[in-house]
Amino acid sequence: RHAGAAVAIKVQPRHCKTIFQITTEHHVLQRLAAHQEQHNDPHLRVQAPLAYGCHDDACYVLVTRLLGPTLLALLPPGGEDGEGAGPAANTLLLAAWQGLQVLESVHAAGYVHRDVKPENLAVSHAGRGATLHLIDF
């Protein structure tokens, strides 16, 4: 918890590759947060890092607040043959519309995510309904 709010902590083992990945993610999230603040883009929904560093043998990025479930968690599981009931229409519309908006804003800020998938889209329910956020840079 930070200032009474729940936070998410991303922890990676301390290796050259993961240190580079965590450092890059921290840098990108800081730059995107600054871009959002400067341009007041309501569609640039990414988490600004609260803290970043290494502790013992792990590197971590601490995110400002804990979001809701990922889009993957909201999709119904498929049957054994791979065919399930399918996602609700409003879930598909949320993912399509808000997903395109956030990607467009990230691209306008000069970045490409390169790993867009349901587990990297998180839903928050603050304010007026569900809002899709892009995570895991």
Following DSSP, what letter does each residue of 38-80 receive, concatenated?
HHT-TT---PPEEEEEEETTEEEEEESS----BHHHHSPPP-T
Paired tokens of 123: 């839903």
Average pLDDT, the chain: 84
Predicted pLDDT of residue 84: 60
Predicted pLDDT of residue 112: 94
Query: How many helices, marked H, and strands, marked E, lie in the chain?
Result: 3, 5
Predicted pLDDT of residue 95: 81
Q: What is the pLDDT of residues 10-43, one digit of tens each?
A: 888 888 888 888 889 999 999 999 999 999 999 9
The percent of residues above 90 in pLDDT, for the chain, comes to 36
| pTM reported for the whole predicted model | 0.81
